[in-house]
Each structure stands twice: as structure tokens, then as C-alpha cells.
Amino acid sequence: MPEIRNPNLDPQGSGGGGNSGGDFRSLTTFTFLALIAVLAFQYFKPRQSGPEPAPQTQQQTTLSSMQQPPASGAAASSGAPQTSTALAITASIETETTVENELYRIVFTNRGAQVKHWFLKKYTDTTGKPLDLVQPQLAERFGQPLSFYSYEPALTAELNQALYQSPTTGELSAPGTLSFHYAQNGLDVVKTFRFDASYVVSVDTDVKRNGLPVRALVCWPAGLGDMEEFLPVSATRSPIRTISQFDWSIDGKHETMKSAKVSGNATLDQPYEYAAISDLYFAAAFLPQSPAQTTLVTLHNTVDVPSDLTNPTSQKKPDDVLGMAMGDLTGSTRLRVYAGPKQLDVLKTIHAAGPDGKFTGPSLEPLIQFGDWLGLIAKPLYLALRWLRNLLGPGAYNWGWAIIIFTIIFSLLMLPTRFMAMRSSLKMMRIQPKVDAIKRRYAGMKVNDPKRAEMNTEMMALYKTEGVNMYGGCLPMLPQIPLFFAYFRVLQNAVELRQAHWFWLTDLSAPDPLHILPILIIISMFLVTYMTPSPGMDASQRRMMAIVSPVFMGFLLWHYASGLALYWGTSNLINIALQLGINQSSMGKEMHAIAAKRAQKKTGSGPRVVQGKH
């Protein structure tokens, strides 16, 4: 052993005289013997058995080292391998944790630290069970919500199949926090979920490989909502297909794209304030904490389902399945997830993060697609229906009664326009002989004859002189057209009307199961047309209108929301009652007398004379 000089000892002379060297050798020998004694004690002491590890305790494994990928700069150019060691953190068995508040019940699995079920307590499926936003067939094929998406298939598989360790299993009541940790093979992954009393769940993820961040996005792979068309044929399912779309907001501007136009596996690096996949009534929206650093991947798959869901043997055709993944460009993702109904009062309270990091950005309210210009009618209509329903109380049938009451009120408000139209029609009937005389003077001319313009000029001058508005008879119909489409928008987008009952109607947003309302509409429209005098329309044309229009509307409403048919049928019954009253008035009697005289003149029929036989 080489000699080590102690700087605190003063050498005596150039040769290091005295006994200082012997003292040091004695100290060295003593230290060596003490080290042997300590090692011998550690080797021969009795071993103590530790407690049995819990199923989810950290597994103590040997330290592993692996070569890191080359880094940028000088370290990468040197070509020297970089190694890191990490203690493996995994779970030994698969476990589940259920998080619950008054609105939802979410079942997490530690395999992949992802969601197996996302039940909405206030909404049910066709069988009456709580609605599960996770469709089992699609989840098995494309992945589960809040899983990971990366650009390396092997990495994605490991992230979503690994058994994560979590200190919480069993039941967890919101508000609360649920965390998962996995570390093995150089990977170190942490997922943290935070819950409150709302539909919003906060998600924080950190993925590192050999100490370097990995771009792994949080993923909602495949649709949500009813999606009962993907259930097995043997299962009870709705005959209505899910209509899905992709929504997003950049710089406060909301945009929508139909499912057929959404690209699959497209990476979009934009400052998304939120992005969402949604159907008519439910949405899953990602709201990043830092929109400026957001990356988004759109997912688009197809699954073959029967073209006629009521006939399992019908020809199959592909049905669109949308998904998305979102993360931060830095590799560490912070975002909020809204998974719930497209309910106006709820969505307007959820705001995206603003430039200051606070939730001052745009709300999720635009996810409800009432339309641009049509929304000016549809939204007030929805609010009026909801006010009436709340006024009536929370009864099962009160949405249907709200539609009926609103239709009655609207018809009464439109009564003045109806009388204006009747007066205009009466004036038109009075001057009809003069109109016919003008038409007879130009009857021999061809349609493209320039002199035909003179006929139109004469007729317009006649209308002006007599104070007749040739479009006055259409006044009652004009407001009903946008209102009809507004009703359609409300019934298609108001989640409150989903599965709302009214007597035999089990769902006001679905077609009439017994087709009673469409048949009633055909009969009532025929009666309204037959009872209403039509100036300038001959008998054959009137008969055609009395048949074609009711059949067309009945066929249309045969396949559309029964709530829409309830509105139209109620409106027709009110029109019948009003027309009966108008027909008994002096104005109505004069109109029918003129119409009868005109019909008699056209047919040339008069009092029949019966001659006796000779």
C-alpha cells in the first residue's frame, strides 16, 4: 500500500525522522482489520424476512441500465452511449378504480391508466340503463378513452398495456385525485386525473424515456354517445344512427366538420382553444391549458353495419367513427376533458383557457348546432319550450305538452295574418273575372311572345287599382316555414328532448313508433285544403294539391322526430277549427259563394231538367 502523508503532521527533517511513519502504518492496519470485521458481521448476521408485498406495491427489482438515444449538440456528435438507471414501478395485477359524483360514474383500469366505462347518471340507453359513453365494441377495436397516442406503435402499445401503479383502488368520491405511475425499460410515465362536481376532468401526463420527454398525446379513440348501431345484432338497440362531427375553436371562432370530411391520423399544430368530437346530444371536448403549444391528431375509422338497422340481414355499409388525440409540443400535457351532454346551461359555463392561462376563453356553447341564421329562431324557441316545460313541472309528458301549448299560442298570435290573408283572397276572387278577361285577350300568343309582357303589366295595374296583394294569401305560411325548420333544429339538438315521453311517443326526438301522427297529419291537411277557398285555382288543381301536399308531409314526418309531427299535427287541428269559424263568417260565406259560382260556370252545369219518356 503506498504511503499517504498527513498534511497536519510536520515532517522532521528531510528524511521524515521520528516514529511518524510507524504510527501511520499502525493506523492503516487497524482500519483494514475494522473493515474486515464489519464485512464479516454483515455476512454472518441472521437474515430477517420482510412482510408480504401488497398486490399493488412497488416491485423491488434490480437496477437496469439502457442506452439513451443520441442527444443533440456535442453529446450526440461524440457518439458516446448515455446510460440511465431507474427503479421499475409496475403493478402485479390489474385493478379498477371507480370515480363518482352526482353526474357520472367513471371506471378506470390500471392497465394503461385509461377508462373502461363512463356512465352518465342522468341519461339512459334504449334498455333504460345509465348511458355509457364508451362503446364496448369500438373501444375493444380502436382503444379506450384517455389512453395514449404516439407516433411509435410499439411505444403506444406499451403505454396502453402496462400495469400502472396507483395508491387508490376501489371507490373514489369526487372531488378527488387519482394518479397512476409506471416506470420500466427506461420509460417513466405519470398520469394524474382531478375530479370536481362538474362534468370536467383535469388530465396531467408526463412521459419520459431515459430522462427525455416523449410526445405522447391524450386520446379519445372512437366516438361517444348512443352509438347503438355498433352493438351486436342480438342486443336491444335503437334504429337511429349516430351522426358525428368534429368541432374546434381557434382565436374564438368555432368551426365544424362532418365526419366524412375528417382525415385520419392528421397532425395539426394549431392554437386550439378546444377540440371536440360530438354527436347530436353528447360531446367529448379537450381544452388544453396552453393553446399556443397544442398539437392535435384527428382519427377517422369506419365499421361496417347493416344499412337498415331494423333488418340485420340488409346490405352492410361503412359507418364513420371519429376520435382525436391532443397533447403539448413539450411532451408534458395539461388539459381538461369535458365528456357529457350538449346541454346549453352546462356548456355555457365551461370556458377554454385564455392567453393569461385563466379560463377566460370561449365557452363550449357553440357545440349545440342550432344553425347560423336559423339559430336566431331556434334558440329562442328552445328557451320558450324549456320555460313552458319548467312551468308545467318535471313530469314525464311535459315536454310534449310544452310543444302543444307553444303551438296554440303561436297559432293565436298568427291569427291576424290569417284574417289578412283571407281578405286578400276575397279581393282576389272578386276581381277574378277581370283577370280572366285579360288572360283571354292574350290566350293565342306563344309563351315567348314579347307581347306577353303587356299582359303582366295590365294584371299588375289591375291589382294596384283594386288594392290586391297577389301574395297576400301566403302570409300565414311564411312564418311557419322557418318555424318548422327551427323546430327540427331544436328537436335534433336539444338533449332534454332525447327520450322525452308523451303518451305513446317514447322519444320526441325519434319517429312516431305507431305512425299515428303522420296519418293524422295527412287527414288533417287534406281537410284544411278542402275547407279553404282557393281563388284562381280550378277544381282539378285543387284536388291535386289536397292530395299531394298532405301525402308529402306525412311521408316526411313518417321518418323524422315525433316532436316535429306533434307540432305540425297540432297546428293542423287548430287550422281546422279556425277555418270552420271563418267559413261561418260573412267573409267566409261570400268566398264560398264566389268559388261555387265560378266552379258552376266552368263546368257549364245548371239546374238539371228531367224529361219524361214518350
Of 81 and 217, the one with more pLDDT:
217
Specify whether the CB–CB gap between 369 and 358 falls below 8 A: no
pLDDT for res 245:
93
Per DSSP, 230 falls in state G
Instruction: For residue 136, give every residue at least 6 positions away whose Cβ sits within 8 Å of its Cβ, in sequence order, or none.
Output: none
Between CA 442 and CA 436 the distance in angstroms is 10
pLDDT at 1: 39
Instruction: Bin 427: left if φ > 0, else alpha if -120 < ψ < 50, else beta.
Output: alpha
The pLDDT of residue 240 is above 90: no
> Rounded to the nearest 5 degrees, what angle is found at the Cα of 93, between the Cα atoms of 88 and 98?
110
Map out the domains of the chain as residue ranges. 96-367, 377-431+468-602
Q: What was the pLDDT predicted at 71?
A: 35
- Check whether 310 has a pLDDT greater than 50: yes
Q: What burial class does residue 257 get, using C-beta atoms within 10 Å of its C-beta: 0-12 exposed, 13-18 middle, 19+ buried?
A: middle
Give the residue among 338, 326, 344 at the shortest CA–CA distance from 490. Answer: 344
pLDDT at residue 65 greater than cutoff 50: no
Alpha-carbon span 140 to 160, nearest angstrom? 12
For residue 54, pLDDT beyond 50: no
Q: What is the pLDDT of residue 611?
A: 42
Q: Which amino acid type is present at position 484?
A: F
Max mean pLDDT range (402-406, 451-455, 524-528, 601-605) = 402-406
For the segment 133-147, the average pLDDT, to the nearest whole number, is 94
Please state the rounded mean pLDDT for residues 116-137. Answer: 93
First to last CA, the chain: 161
Contact between 214 and 344 under an 8 Å Cβ cutoff? The reply is no
Non-local CB neighbours of 139 within 8 Å, separated by 6+ positions:
116, 145, 221, 222
CATH of domain 96-367: 2.70.98.90
Q: For residue 568, what is its C-alpha cell?
A: 305540425
Tell me, what's the pLDDT at 241? 85
Tell me the residue ranges of DSSP E strands in 110-236.
114-124, 130-132, 147-149, 170-173, 176-184, 187-195, 200-209, 212-213, 217-220
Nearest alpha carbon to residue 219 among 322, 68, 290: 322
Distance separating alpha carbons of residues 46 and 391, to the nearest angstrom = 80
pLDDT at 535 (0 to 100): 54
Other Cβ atoms closer than 10 A to 597: 11
Average pLDDT over every residue of 38-58: 39
Residue 80 pLDDT exceeds 60:
no
**Contact between residue 367 and residue 276 where contact means Cβ atoms under 8 Å apart:** yes
pLDDT in tens, 9-43: 333 333 344 444 444 344 444 444 444 454 444 44
pTM score, whole prediction: 0.76
For the stretch 508-523, pLDDT in tens is: 988 999 999 999 999 9
Residue 235 grid coordinates? 342486443
Q: Residues 532, 533, 537, CA angle at the centre, nearest 5°?
A: 120
Least confident span in 174-188, 341-355, 407-421, 585-599:
585-599
Window from 43-52, 237-246, 411-420 with minimum mean pLDDT: 43-52
Say how far apart CA 113 and CA 348 lie, in whole Å. Answer: 30
pLDDT reported for residue 158: 95
